[in-house]
Amino acid sequence: MTLSIWFSLFIICILGAMSPGPSLAVVAKHSLASGRLHGIVTSWAHAMGVGFYALLTLLGLAVVLKQSPTLFMAIGYAGAAYLAYLGVNALRSKGGIAAKLKAGETTSLFEAARDGLMISLLNPKLALFFLALFSQFVAVGTESVSRSIIVATPLLVDGLWYTLIAIVLSRPKVLDVLRTKALWIDRLSGVVLILLALRVVYFV
């Protein structure tokens, strides 16, 4: 895997993590209600779920590519359509992060970890996202090292991003800044997702 290919993967993973959604709401809830440690535990439990989906998706696509190149191509086009759909929705978003960042009741570390893990494992859109994303990387990631990097990148990006969110949210004044920037995060994510969809179509 070349550095440029990895950088493409990195960029889309970090934009995916930054997009406001239920995962952000859960991390924010535990961070604001119970403190920094709870937020960090939630973040890395969520990242474990992301890594699990990434691994399953990569292995599944590798099998499909080997057994049926035609089916793999169809999956790639379907994935491109889904990425474009996400991009259009992001461009149309009105920055709903303000409504999602709400404090909840104090919880235990176990509950924080449970919520972080389950919000990722029970999110079918996450599986579709990786199916669309990895369709362009699985063909170039045939070596064990490359596959490990492909799986580790979204896991680490997700964990580190939400850890940053947990740390930042321990400072209440920063919350208002996040709210004001939510719209721009959505717009940037939308453009990148649409460009990635075009890239998938080109390389499939």
Q: Each residue's pLDDT tens digit in the chain (204 positions)?
A: 678 878 888 888 888 888 766 677 778 777 877 788 999 999 999 999 999 888 888 888 767 766 777 776 776 677 678 778 877 877 886 655 444 454 445 678 998 899 888 888 876 667 777 777 776 676 665 677 888 888 899 999 999 999 998 898 777 676 666 666 667 767 776 787 788 778 767 765
Is the whole-model pTM more than 0.75? Answer: no
Residue among 158, 154, 161, 169 nearest 55 (CA) = 154
The residue type found at 52 is F
